Amino acid sequence: MTRPKSENITNTVPKVARAERETILGQRGVTVWFTGLSASGKSTVALLVDKHLTERGHCCCILDGDNIRQGLNSDLGFNPEDRNENIRRIGEVSKLFCANGIICLTAFISPYRVDRDHNREIHESGDFIEVHLDCPLDVCEQRDPRGLYAKARSGAISEFTGISAPYEPPLSPELRLRTDRESPDESALRVVDYLANKGYLHCGAAVTAAAV
């Protein structure tokens, strides 16, 4: 873990314990990390999960790759170093939401396995769920809603994941969604069912590493 450059800092201890917040919210805080190629359906599925959970009375937040790069990470590009820093920052932000009892849904290509594994390591046991939207490259290219693959193929966009930059799929994700074979809502409901079955959506539920 990277040590902070500043020395004169201390941890702020909240007056409200995490368990108390989770009891009030009726859920356990967790980071649900959606990863996959561009156009695999990450944001679409995350938004639907948010909708389903909110309708059931749960408290969620969404961190989306495009939105985050318009503000918090507007200073970062797409070279490997900036991609590392982009995902590192999001890991730290999602950990803060999680520690406050929020279900944090993150939708990022996050192409490098080491970066995703690092974010899992900085979370408490059971606080990080990796969801791989496993959609073949050719299907993602056929969708290409913003024409990014076409631009990458023509050379107009450099360092584009899946074309001129690598994507390292998860080895053992908690969930693997074949978004080329099921509808976005079917994928979203699988995520909701997973959270419910593992106890994240029940007041004061204890989730152990073994259960996950």
Q: Give the residue numbers marked as catalytic.
A: 110
Measure the CA angle with vertex 34, ends 170 and 99; round to 5°.
Answer: 105
For residue 121, the Cα-to-chain-centroid distance in whole angstroms is 14
Question: Could you give the CA distance from residue 106 to residue 93 in angstroms, rounded to a whole number?
Answer: 10
Cβ–Cβ < 8 Å for 161, 40: no
- Strand 175-177 vs strand 103-107: parallel, antiparallel, or unpaired? unpaired
Torsion sign, CA atoms 75, 81, 85, 87: positive
- The closest of 210, 209, 207 to 29, measured between CA atoms, is 207
Cβ–Cβ < 8 Å for 157, 151: yes
For residue 177, give the 3-state DSSP assignment: strand
